[in-house]
A and B are shown apart, each in its own frame.
Chain A
Amino acid sequence: MADIADKLKEQILQARQSGRKLNIEGGGTKTFMGRAADTDADTLKMAEHTGIVEYHPVELVLTARAGTPLAEIEATLAEEGQCLHFEPPRFGDASTLGGTLACNLSGPARPWSGSVRDQVLGIRLLNGKGEHLRFGGQVMKNVAGYDTSRLQAGAMGTLGAITEISLKVMPKPAMSLTLVQDMALEDVIQYMNSRAKESKPITGAAWVDGKVYLRLAGAKSAVEATAEKWSGEVMEQGDDFWRQLQHMQHEFFAGEQPLWRFSVGSTATNPDLDGPWLIDWAGSQRWYRSEADIAQLETLAQRAGGQVSLFRGGDRTDEVMHHQPRALKEIQRRLKASFDPDGIFNPGRLYSWL
């Protein structure tokens, strides 16, 4: 538990003065994400900036420094019967809260419980001028000023170093249960979406290896009654499946083959591509493993109403994120300059041009 914000600020000011660049590092567990880091840059280490700053269970709000390990936060919440509803993926114990927001990573419950971005209420951020700014708040609703807190989700640290985050937290569901059954990929999109359309306590819908998994969670009576009505077998140790999915420990994710993430319309017909697929988020997030060319996949992703990114592996010197149209590129360039006028932070990490 330490507050090293002053030290971080000092390092930014020095970098600015000496014209150096900085790679922001959380736990360093997601270095595989984004484009390869600039090897000539120094490292701004957030991992020592740790500690839960405030937590009042009845407020359903937790504030922690960005370097705080997710594991610590989740353990603290569990003591009060609460949790992070967005089910952040983590890799070992080093994954930090800041890295999770910067990469906008959320687990299987995301379509129902929201993403990390959805739960963010406010942040503190060191911008490229070394100014330590506070945006948003520790309350559920705050519309004063632009929402520069949620803007950080997915920015991968290109706008500044997040030093503190306030999040909405939720009570743990009273119970959960998983239904599993065989189903072909052709049928599963329709099936998942029509289940999601019912007013039932569903919090997970995934398909892999010819099986569809639905998770029910909430009040015991509601979960049990729904399980009776819906088809599928109750899975022993169902929670283990979802945990593997959340932390990407399912064997689908193993190995070196490039891992592509399609974020698309939930009902879109699955792209006609050879290779293994894993469908999550009731059809909105689809993982694909193969050597492939990003331009070709982009066309397919767009047809499915969304975008594709090269999540892990593959050629990380080229673009790994879906290309941006000219007007949005220009806005993002200008936004970057407004936060980080000298382009100190994470050069080229998100896009080659940012």
Chain B
Amino acid sequence: MTTTPKISRAELAEQFRAFIDPDFVITDDETMKPYECDGMSMYCEMPMLVVLPETAEQVQRVMRICNEHHVPVVARGAGTGLSAGAMPHKEGVVLSLAKFNRILDIDPLARTARLQPGVRNLAISEEAAEFGLYYGPDPSSQIACTIGGNVAENSGGVHCLKYGLTVHNILSVEMITAEGERVTIGSDALDVCGMDLLALMTGSEGLLGIVTEVKVKLLPKPEVAQVVMAGFDSVQKAGDAVGGIISHGIIPGGLEMMDGHAIIAADDFAQAGYPREAKALLLCEVDGTEEEVHEHIAQAEALFRELGATSVKTSQSEEERALLWKGRKSAFPAVGRISPDYYCMDGTIPRRYLAHVLLEMEKMSEEFGLRVANVFHAGDGNLHPLILFDANVPGEFERTEAFGGRILNLCVEVGGCITGEHGVGVEKIRQMAVQFNDEELQQFHDVKAAFDPSGILNPGKGVPALRFCQEYRSLEHKQHEHETVEAAHG
């Protein structure tokens, strides 16, 4: 565990300035201000210092100095994270990878790209396009978020059911350990000997090492992609239709669902031509060869009709397809327009509980007096309930957090988990105690210690200290009992 650093801001800055351009060792509050939070702006903290190295050797030296003086280090990509994973530590350093923004190499025949960690997700596909290739995982934040952040969060996107998450699409990472060692994990091959450290690194939220280079796989761009949009008059029917498509043997490139609130908000925003009267909407993208898409689209259309869709429409051009996705991909900002603030949850559930979970959420929404809109990676059971609130109303954020916490508990109850792709960070750290018991959490702490014996990498994130867990669990328990009693009396 970290002990309080024994080095002052000025001393640390001086040491860094010996090998890093002094302009990029930032100590004044005004310049540091933009680093105080990530995409989860309700959680803020000012760091002691921000540093922007530009070579792996510099990162190594930064780590050695911080390790020696027990100074916490928080890596930062684009700061689009949604769990406050990149929120600074007040006695620590923010290590921004913003200057590592070069695509080092694209090998079209091998279908790989070697990247610095600060390369934006979308830039990879843009650069690979001339070879007919693209990078699979496509988070909605892909214009801004970095590949280093994607590795740290194991990010997904709307195409993960078929093409996988970050962990399925990378070959190797170069990283700097807490002790300043530079190691390569993985290789140009599909596997290496021994335990799978690459998988362990992926999704480790900056707690195990600083990623300084990533080699990703690229995929051939499908010949054709088409989207079928189906409206339904109940979420139950839409949920069943998802199962229907999959049991039919079709694995869509993307399969997304929106509820009534999200449909209206997204359609207002993007004029995507969504069926506004529908209670649930499915967007089902089929991609592949011309013949395959033709065959599967016809099957999907027929299946949706059979399973009670009230409207079915298929994109007939690339423009139409882009427009249908635009509505979905801008669902967050769209919801942002109908409410001063929104809070995005990220629980995952077995799909068969979809209707149950949405119904329970409706009830909670009434109980907490807060609206909720749902967008959902239906294909892989990843919910994104957006709770609408107003941060300027005292107490409303606290209510929102409590509501969010209850949603996550519900996800765990039905066999799901508290985060599908946004990570634990600070935001979901309490819910870790719901999904895992003390022995499991201790195992996580022990894994962390294997990489970072003095605990300087992103401390306080990802895995809760055990002493807080007892407290949280008993609090939850009391609340639960209280509710049961209320229900019995009410």
Interface residues of A (CB under 8 A from B): 56-61, 80-81, 104, 110-111, 114-115, 117-118, 127, 131, 133-135, 137-148, 150-155, 158-159, 170-172, 174, 190, 193-194, 196-201, 218-222, 224-226, 263-268, 281, 284-285, 304-307, 309, 321-322, 324-325, 327-328, 331-332, 334-335, 337-339, 350-351
Q: Does B75 contact A (CB under 8 A)?
A: no
A residues near B133, Cβ cutoff 8 Å: 197
Q: Cα distance A250–B71 when bound, in Å?
A: 57
Q: Which of A57, A174, A338 is in CB contact (< 8 Å) with B446?
A: A338
B364 CB, nearest partner CB in chain A, Å: 21
13 CB contacts below 8 A, A to B, read: A59-B351, A140-B161, A140-B348, A146-B448, A171-B250, A199-B288, A219-B295, A222-B295, A263-B192, A285-B190, A335-B450, A338-B450, A350-B195
Whole-angstrom CA separation of A267 from B182 in the bound complex: 26
Q: B474 in the interface, Cβ–Cβ < 8 Å?
A: no
Known contacts: A110-B190, A222-B288. The answer to whether A148 contacts B200 by CB under 8 A is yes
Q: Does B18 contact A (CB under 8 A)?
A: no
A-B contact count (CB 8 A): 282
Residue of A nearest to B347 (CB): A139
- A138 neighbours in B (Cβ, 8 Å): 350, 415
> How far apart are A318's CB and chain B's nearest CB, in angstroms?
14
How far apart are the CA atoms of A322 and B187 in the complex, in Å?
A: 12
Leading 6 A-B pairs by shortest Cβ distance: A305-B188, A265-B188, A150-B199, A140-B380, A306-B189, A222-B292
Complex contacts, B432 vs chain A, CB 8 Å:
144-145
Among A143, A285, A331, the residue within 8 A (CB) of B419 is A143
Chain B interface bracket (under 10, 10 to 19, 20 to 34, 35 or more): 35 or more
Besides A146-B200, A148-B200, A307-B192, 6 new A-B residue pairs in contact (Cβ under 8 A), listed by A number:
A58-B247, A144-B419, A148-B444, A200-B289, A263-B189, A338-B449
Chain A residues in 8 Å Cβ range of B431: 144
Interface contact B197-A133, CB-CB below 8 Å: no
B316 sits at the interface (CB 8 A): no
Complex CA gap A305/B167 in Å reads 19
Complex alpha-carbon distance, A53 and B291, angstroms:
38
CB of B168 closer than 8 Å to a CB of A: yes
Pick the contact of A152 from B195, B350, B351 — CB < 8 Å? Answer: B195
**Contact code string B96-138 (vs A, CB < 8 Å = 1, else 0):** 0000000000011111000000000000000000001100000
Q: Which residues from 237 to 290 on chain B have a C-beta closer than 8 Å to any C-beta of chain A?
A: 243-244, 246-251, 288-290
Residue in B189, B195, B246, B379 whose beta carbon sits within 8 Å of that of A158 in the complex:
B195
A199 contacts B183, C-beta separation under 8 Å: no
A306 and B440 contact, CB distance less than 8 A: no
| A61, closest chain B residue (CB) | B350
Pair B449/A306 contact, Cβ less than 8 Å: no
- Would B199 and A225 count as touching, CB distance under 8 A? no
Are A146 and B444 neighbours in the complex by a CB distance under 8 Å? yes
* Residue of chain A at shortest CB distance from B249: A171
Distance (whole angstroms) from the CB of B55 to the closest CB of chain A: 19
**With known contacts A133-B439, A193-B109, A334–B196 Cβ distance under 8 A:** no
Q: Which residue of chain B has its CB nearest to the CB of A199? A: B220
How far is B168's CA from A111's CA once the two chains are assembled, in angstroms? 10
| A145 engages B189 (CB within 8 Å) | no
Is B352 in contact with A59, judged by CB distance below 8 angstroms? yes
Minimum CB distance partner of B288 in chain A: A222
Supposing A142-B417, A197-B108 touch, asked if A321 and B200 sit within 8 A by C-beta, the answer is no
- Report whether A264 and B292 are in contact in the complex, using a CB–CB cutoff of 8 Å: no
Structural contact, A131 and B251, CB atoms closer than 8 A: no
Q: Are the CB atoms of A332 and B189 closer together than 8 Å? A: no
Which residues from chain A contact B449 at a C-beta distance below 8 Å? Answer: 334, 338
CB of B44 within 8 Å of the partner chain: no
Tell me the smallest distance from the CB of A348 to a CB of chain B, in Å: 13
**Within 8 Å CB of A150, what residues of B?**
167, 196, 199-200
CA distance A237 to B110 in the complex (A): 30
Report the bound CA distance from A339 to B422 in whole Å.
27
Residues of A contacting B199 in the complex (Cβ-Cβ under 8 angstroms): 117, 147, 150-151, 153
Q: Which residue in chain B gives the minimum CB-CB distance to A264? A: B189
User: What residues of chain B lie closer than 8 Å to A147, measured between beta carbons?
Assistant: 154, 167, 199-200, 202-204
Per the bound structure, the CA–CA distance linking A285 and B380 in Å amounts to: 30
Q: Does B296 contact A (CB under 8 A)?
A: yes
Q: Which of A114, A159, A321 contacts B164 (CB 8 A)?
A: A114
Docked complex Cα distance between A190 and B462 (Å): 44
Which A residues touch B111, using CB under 8 A? 193, 196-197, 266
**When the two chains form their complex, are residues A220 and B109 in contact, meaning their CB atoms are under 8 A apart?**
no
With A59-B351, A143-B203, A264-B189 in contact, is A219–B291 under 8 Å at CB? yes
A135, A321, A350: the one within 8 Å of B440 (CB): A135
Q: For B187, give its contact among A170, A196, A305 (CB under 8 Å).
A: A305
The complex places the Cα of A305 from the Cα of B183 at a distance, in Å, of 15
Residues of B within 8 A of A81 (CB): 249
Query: Quick one: which of B167, B195, B251, B444 has the most chain A CB within 10 A?
Result: B195
- Are A335 and B220 closer than 8 Å at their CB atoms? no
Q: Is the CB of B350 within 8 A of A335?
A: no
Q: A199-B223, A226-B289, A305-B189 are in contact. Are A139 and B417 (CB under 8 A)?
A: yes
Query: Given A194-B109, A218-B288, are A144 and B190 also a contact pair (CB < 8 Å)?
Result: no
CA–CA, A315 to B415, complex, Å?
46
Q: Is B451 touching A331 in the complex (CB atoms < 8 A)?
A: yes
Contact with B415, one of A80, A137, A144 (Cβ below 8 angstroms): A137
Residues on the A chain within 8 Å of B380, using CB: 139-141
| Interchain CB contact under 8 A, B381 and A141 | yes
Taking a contact as CB atoms closer than 8 A, the residue among B182, B193, B250 that contacts A322 in the complex is B193
Do residues A197 and B419 form an inter-chain contact, with CB atoms below 8 A?
no
Q: Is B20 part of the contact surface with A, judged by Cβ < 8 Å?
A: no
Chain B 167-200 near chain A by CB (<8 Å), digits 1 or 0: 1100000000100011101011111111111011
Which residues of A sit under 8 angstroms from B187, Cβ to Cβ?
263-265, 305-307
Q: State the CA gap A338–B448 with chains docked (Å).
A: 9
Bound complex: CA of A222 vs CA of B440, how far in Å? 46
| Chain A CB within 8 A of B153 CB | yes
In this assembly, does B349 line the interface, its C-beta being within 8 Å of a C-beta of chain A? yes
A313 CB to nearest B CB, Å:
17
A143: chain B residues within 8 A (beta carbon)? 153-154, 203, 419-424
Q: Is the CB of B352 within 8 A of A321?
A: no
A202–B189 Cα gap in the complex (Å)?
19
Instruction: State whether the Cβ of B443 lies closer than 8 Å to any Cβ in chain A.
Output: yes
Cβ A197 vs Cβ B351 within 8 A = no
Per-position 1/0 for B290-305, Cβ under 8 A of A: 1110111000000000
> 1/0 per position for B437-467, CB-CB distance to A under 8 A?
0011101101111110000000000110000
Could you tell me the distance between the alpha carbons of A285 and B192 in the complex, rounded to whole angstroms? 11
The digit string for B71-113, where 1 denotes a CB below 8 A from any CB of A, is 0000000000000000000000000000000000001111100
Decide: A142 and B420 in contact? CB cutoff 8 A. Answer: yes
- Distance (whole angstroms) from the CB of B209 to the closest CB of chain A: 9
Shortest Cβ gap from B14 to chain A (Å): 29
CB atoms of B417 and A137 under 8 A apart: yes
Which of the residues A220, A321, A337 comes within 8 Å of B193, measured between beta carbons?
Answer: A321
Q: How far is the CB of B236 from chain A (nearest CB, A)?
A: 14
Option from A142, A221, A304, A324 in Cβ contact (under 8 Å) with B291: A221
Once the chains bind, are B188 and A145 in contact (CB under 8 Å)?
Answer: no
Q: Which residues of B contact A196 (CB under 8 A)?
A: 111, 220
Question: A305 CA to B194 CA in the complex, in Å?
Answer: 16
A59 engages B350 (CB within 8 Å) = yes
A149 to chain B, nearest CB (A): 8
User: Do B167 and A137 touch (CB < 8 A)?
Assistant: no
Known: A196-B111, A219-B288, A284-B189. A324 touches B194 (CB 8 A): yes
